[in-house]
A = this chain, B = another copy of it.
Amino acid sequence: MRTEELRYMGNGTMSLLREKILDVASDLFQTRGINSTGVDTIVAVAGTTKMTLYKYFRSKEDLILEVLHKGHADFSTWLNQKLNKNTKKPSERLQKLFDFIEEWVTAPDFRGMAFLKASAEFPNEENPVHRLSAEHSKQFKQFLTELAVDAGAKDADSLALQLSILIEGAIQAEQMKRGSGAVKYAKKAAKILIENALEK
C-alpha cells in the first residue's frame, strides 16, 4: 500500500499540493516569465513552503520541465477530443483544426503557448528546457502530418510544416498583442494552402 502510493505519486499524478504548485508555476511562468519567477513567489502564491516544493521537484529546472510537459499534454488532449467529437471526415479535420486553435487562443484564460516562450528564454539548443520545447514543437508537427496524410494531401510533410508555421506564427502574434486576430488570418491562409494541397 505504501509502495503503491509512492509509485503512484512518482508518476506525477495525485497529491493536491503538487498539482497546485504545477498550476501556480504554469500561470506565473506564462504571465511573468520563467526566469523572472522565483520559487519563493511560487510557494507564496500556492500557499505552501519551499520544503514542500523541493519534496515534489528536485530543482526549479525539474519543475519547469514538468510544467511544460503538463501544458503540452493538456493541450494535446483537449485538441484531440475536440477533433474527434466534432469532425468525422478526414478531409475536413485540417480546416476544423484552425477553428479549435482560434477557440483556444481567444479564450479569456489563454496565456500563450508554453514551449514557444520557454524556447525563447532558453535559447541554447543544448539546454534541457529548450530540448523539451523543440520536442513538443516536433510532436505537434507530426500530429499535423498525420492529419494531412489522412486528408489525402499531395505533399503531407510540406503542408504540415506550412500549417505549423502558420499556427505558431499566429500564436506568437497573439502573445505579442492580445486580440490581434492573427488566428483569423492564419485560418484564411490555411484554407488556401489546404485547398491547394488537396487538388489532384
Contacts and interface: CB of A to CB of B under 8 A. Distances in A.
Contacts of A30: 123
Interface residues of A, number: 45
A57 interface: no
Contacts of A182: 161, 165
A143 B82 CA distance: 37
Given A117-B123, A124-B32, A196-B192, A168 B173 contact: yes
If over half of A's interface residues share one DSSP class (helix, strand or loop), that class is named, otherwise mixed; here it is: helix
Contact of A35 (B121, B130, B185): B121
Nearest to A168: B169
Interface of A: 30-33, 35-36, 112, 116-117, 119-125, 130, 133-134, 137-138, 158, 161-162, 164-170, 172-173, 175-178, 182, 185-186, 188-189, 192-193, 196
